[in-house]
Structure 1
Amino acid sequence: MTPGTDVDATGADAPPVIETPWRRLDKRMLVVSPIAGLVRLLPVVLILLVTGRQGTPMQVWFPLGIGVLVVIGGVIRWRTTRYRITADRVELHTGWLRRQRRSVPRDRIRTVDLTAKLLHRIFGLSVVHVGAASGSPMESAGLQLDAVSKTEADRLRRELLDRTSTAAGPGTVERAPVAPPRPPATELARLNWSWLRFAPLTFSAIAGIGAMGAAVFNLIGELGVDPRDIPAVDDAADRLTSTPIWATIAVLAALLLVVAVVGAMVLFAERWYGYRLTREAGDPEAAATPSAGIGTGTLRVRRGLLTRRSLSVSEQRLRGVEVVEPLLLRAGRGACSKALSTGLTRSAQGGALQPPCPRPEAHRVASAALREQPHEITLAPLRKHPPAALQRRMTRAVLPTGVLVAGLFVAGSAVPFLAELAVPSLLLLPLTALVALDRFRNLGHELTARYLVSRQGSIQRRTVALQRAGVIGWTFRQSIFQRRSGLVTVEAITAAGAGGYQVLDVAAADGVALADASVPHLLTPFLATAAPADPQLGPR
């Protein structure tokens, strides 16, 4: 027996355990990281240069010192960051003064997101964000490699989403045999520039324009620049003040509307330029014995002009889709679809499969992503909820509004300003009643062969198609007012998406039957052994 060779239980020589080496981030980060830090500090440096006294050493040396510290920080960050990918885990070590050790089991990886900002793209780099399933606070956040080369990022994306590469034992670097080349990706959707008309109808785009406007305004204030000192601005302000107040308001409103529309279109173009949704083929062995309604490939969304983004979601971890229709977008007959999977961020763009687009296109993409017919998921005919649900919505909408209007009339006798608002406030009563009616009309649910489909909302209508196999539990909620009306709110608990999806104000008996039918035999023991304690809920 050779010294240093392990021996297994049968006496034969065991293969040596090879330690997986640690890797560093790309060396180009030694340039990118300091430049990015200096760009973020550029407004501060400009303020120091503008507001400092001319000729003082502080005006020159302080910004220079900031630049040196940023460069040193970038070097330390690169030297203290290491990562490695073993057969069963992804590990990341970062920090010098405050060290962090992150480790994510590979069987919990659900998504791999590649992001390349403009500076990263110039140097051929990409940021890899690994999204993992919930297991602990650390694992639920996943980890981020900032940054590796584009070639390495794409290789990591394929490797981490490939279930066959986890077959080797722990502590080894053995890989599965080289598989034959997989077929090219199938394109499911691509950008249609006619969808640009939906950009001004999304609240996120308008909010983004407001945020940018506020940032510019704050920067101008910090630099000590008074817009009134600009002749053109001062002349325009004088003209507005000399016109009637209603004309001034109309001009300002039109100006803001134009800025919001143009800005929303610019943001849309930056976010969704080059958009493509593709399906990459999965493992051939897994595809030979697929589960019903579950694919073995990977859904990949690529988009972005200045910042390129690539989101990859394993189909085996996909638990459903959600079609979102904000009020303005719904009025324009538009919608967008989102994937329901663990490891996705819960931001407005988290899991987005497409930009705002025509409503039929959103349902088509949802159907293509799940490999299901639209009438089996988001376009399934839904069951209406009982009239008591309409009564609850009318009461909750009209009653507070009526109290507010009555308060304005009462307070108007003492405060003249409020008296002017009292009569126009009467318009709020029919408006809130219409919103309550729309909320009731949008309520619905249905069980199809493999999905629980539910819809709710008016300001933002959401249609969710959730795999019944992805439901891990149920929560029943019943307030005292719901109890009096014989209603209950049923929530399907899942590890994907928001973690739970509600069916609001359904009849109590129907809610229990819905939960029992969605996941057969989950509630059967409780229904069979517990005595009926509430006539509204039936046997429990």
Structure 2
Amino acid sequence: MTELGTPPTGAADATEATEATGTADWRRLSPRMLAVHPVQELVRSFPALIGALVAGTTSGHGPLWGLAALVLVIALGTLRWFTTTYRISPQHVQVRRGLLRRRVLTVPRDRVRTVDVTANAMHRIVGLARVEIGTGRSDRKGENGLKLDALAAPAARQLREELLHRQPRSAAAESGAAPEPGTATATEAATTTETAPATAYANTSATGPRPARAPSSTPEQETRLATLDPRWVRYGPFTLSGLLTVGVVAGFGSRAVSEAKIDLGKVGPVHQLLDQVRGAGWLVGAVEVVVALLVVCVVASTLAYVLAFWNYRLSRHPGGTLHVNRGLITTRATSIEERRLRGVELSEPLSLRLVGGARCIAIATGLRVGRGAERGGSLLLPPAPRKVALRVAGDVFGGPEPYTTPLVPHGPRAVRRRFTRALGLTALLVGVLAVLHQVAGLPSWVWQASLVLLPCAALVAADRARSLGHALRDGVLVCRFGSLVRRRNVLTCDGVLGWNLRQSFFQRRIGLTTLVATTAAGRQQYEIPDVDTAEAVRVADAAVPGLLTPFLVRPAGNPQE
């Protein structure tokens, strides 16, 4: 991504960019955003408005200061429509924004990785949607990405088709969406004939590429891969998202109470609750508090699941993209080019695994997992039954074989290392607490209660040992590890850019290595932990032949082996 004022990499590139973008007309955001953004700015600036009102009250001009701040916030909310324009050429996407500091962000169209179309409640009321163009850099510090907030909902869908399916605006208009006046009325002077081959894999083979289709002016039917089953809501409480919500609310509430210097013990309902707990005994009171907290977390997690994944739908577009639609109040539609797809991650958190659930995450170039502005954009399937996750993963990438094939175990040394690390660290913690009891007078029940951690650590170590495994099958690398979150990563070998072979001091003593595949997709590195060193070299050399050859030491007398 480049912006105005950045030195060009070459005169030829600058000339090409100028010629490519000179024929496309600048488009504006929807005028309806003037009814949304001022309200959003008022909500966002509410603390500042209260501060201005209080500051003005001390000088006797509180209403005047409050009115001035209110007018300023509304003006800032309306300026975006006057200062933001964009245009789409056959080679580039450009967004021009800013008043005092004018910026022009330019992205080559072949750098577009995803297109997210989201609409919150206010957007949906007036028929708007926000478009966010993912380029693989929008999650970096200081990078705002390409965001168009907001377009008319039909224009937003049309723009997604235009960017990902290489469909010209005239064809997109014929396929359904009528542009809103003043938002997107210009047509492209030229269309691209780029048909780069896709690297996604068909369902029946992990090696056969699916060719991309040329743009078409006729509507194409999508293939639906998965749709939300209302019974999946039962997995909501096991996502533990409500626990985080309760923690955030509790932290914010305690901070507000502390700042206001309120003694909760003197508040009527809280005082009665504390008296009830004291009357029932601390043990019974603790159980009641834990049960109440558990109920609140279950309700919050279930509500969060419904809000985030209701109306979920995963479909495949014949033009070579995957579409993920979800959301109850705030809707989100994410499109991922299959030619950018390098694999799928089957994620099984411990809480979900206990009830037979799992979720699927895309491993795509330029789309980092769970980071920055593209957080959640890589999710292919929300928490659902494991058999559904296996089917969806196979339909999206590689077929069912990589997700069900037996894995190569890592041997007894890796198993012993799991138990040594888990039990050793836990025993060290118990020992420290026991010493503090003798030296510093720490209550004895603390270190005695910590003994419960030893069998828990042993169970986690056993589960981590069972999870270890890897396989190399038909050009696809499979690795599985983890206990609290078990991950089975299926990655095409064509997406591997390099290998890292890491050994700690203790790994060197027992002949184990952590093999790390580096890639431009997803988490950007995928580990095969605690594998035999010879096996790590064999897997790396077989997955990407010739990459490690210059670094391998051959046995004496066999230079060609």
TM range (shorter): 0.7 to 0.9
Amino acid across the alignment from 2:303: V
Give the whole-Å Cα distance in 2 for the aligned partners of 1:226 and 1:351: 45
Matched, 1:346 2:369: yes
What do you get for the CA RMSD once the two structures are aligned?
Answer: 3.2
Matched, 1:193 2:230: yes
Rate the CA distance shift 1:153–1:339 in 2: closer, same or farther, 3 A. same
Are the equivalent residues in 2 in contact too, given 1:102–1:138 (CA < 8 A)? Answer: no
Equivalent residue number for residue 289 of structure 1: none
Moved more, 342-351 or 66-75: 342-351
Moved more, 314-323 or 515-524: 515-524
Are the equivalent residues in 1 in contact too, given 2:161–2:167 (CA < 8 A)? Answer: no
Equivalent residue number for residue 531 of structure 2: 506
Structure 2 residue matching 1:325: 3-state secondary structure: strand
Are the equivalent residues in 2 in contact too, given 1:199–1:205 (CA < 8 A)? Answer: no
Matched, 1:29 2:52: no
Give the whole-Å Cα distance in 1 for the aligned partners of 2:273 and 2:138: 59
Give the Å deviation of 1:343.
3.4
Give the Å deviation of 1:110.
1.4
Structure 1 residue matching 2:451: 3-state secondary structure: helix
Are the equivalent residues in 2 in contact too, given 1:115–1:308 (CA < 8 A)? Answer: yes
Equivalent residue number for residue 474 of structure 1: 499
Equivalent residue number for residue 106 of structure 2: 103
Are the equivalent residues in 2 in contact too, given 1:322–1:464 (CA < 8 A)? Answer: yes
Amino acid across the alignment from 1:32: V
Give the Å deviation of 1:261.
0.6
Equivalent residue number for residue 272 of structure 2: 235
Please list every run of 5 or more consecutive structure 2 residues that lacks an aligned counterpart in the other structure. 1-18, 170-187, 194-214
Give the Å deviation of 1:228.
5.8
Equivalent residue number for residue 116 of structure 2: 113
Give the whole-Å Cα distance in 1 for the aligned partners of 2:115 and 2:446: 53
Give the Å deviation of 1:379.
2.0
Are the equivalent residues in 1 in contact too, given 2:241–2:300 (CA < 8 A)? Answer: no
Equivalent residue number for residue 84 of structure 2: 81
Are the equivalent residues in 1 in contact too, given 2:96–2:105 (CA < 8 A)? Answer: yes
Give the Å deviation of 1:364.
1.2
Rate the CA distance shift 1:233–1:160 in 2: closer, same or farther, 3 A. same
Give the Å deviation of 1:327.
1.4
Moved more, 337-346 or 264-273: 337-346
Matched, 1:408 2:433: yes
Are the equivalent residues in 1 in contact too, given 2:56–2:63 (CA < 8 A)? Answer: no
Give the whole-Å Cα distance in 1 for the aligned partners of 2:73 and 2:268: 39
Equivalent residue number for residue 276 of structure 1: 313
Structure 2 residue matching 1:462: 3-state secondary structure: strand
Give the whole-Å Cα distance in 2 for the aligned partners of 1:330 and 1:281: 34
Equivalent residue number for residue 134 of structure 2: 131
Equivalent residue number for residue 5 of structure 2: none
What is the number of equivalent residue pairs in this alignment? 499
> Residues 141-165 of structure 1: CA distance to partner in whole angstroms, max 9, x if unpaired?
7421111111111011111112476
Are the equivalent residues in 2 in contact too, given 1:47–1:223 (CA < 8 A)? Answer: no
Amino acid across the alignment from 1:274: N
Matched, 1:181 2:218: yes
Please list every run of 5 or more consecutive structure 1 residues that lacks an aligned counterpart in the other structure. 1-14, 167-171, 283-296
Rate the CA distance shift 1:55–1:406 in 2: closer, same or farther, 3 A. closer
Give the whole-Å Cα distance in 1 for the aligned partners of 2:49 and 2:258: 15
Matched, 1:396 2:421: yes
* Structure-1-length-normalised TM-score: 0.84
Give the whole-Å Cα distance in 2 for the aligned partners of 1:425 and 1:232: 35
- Sequence identity percentage: 41
1:362 to 389, 393, 412: 389
Equivalent residue number for residue 69 of structure 2: 66
* Structure-2-length-normalised TM-score: 0.81
Rate the CA distance shift 1:123–1:17 in 2: closer, same or farther, 3 A. closer
Are the equivalent residues in 1 in contact too, given 2:117–2:334 (CA < 8 A)? Answer: yes
Give the whole-Å Cα distance in 1 for the aligned partners of 2:387 and 2:402: 13
1:248 to 285, 288, 299: 285
Give the Å deviation of 1:473.
1.4
Give the Å deviation of 1:369.
1.3
Amino acid across the alignment from 1:428: L
Give the whole-Å Cα distance in 2 for the aligned partners of 1:212 and 1:429: 33
Q: Which structure 2 residues correspond to residues 442-461 of structure 1 after superposition, within 5 A?
A: 442-461=467-486
Equivalent residue number for residue 425 of structure 1: 450
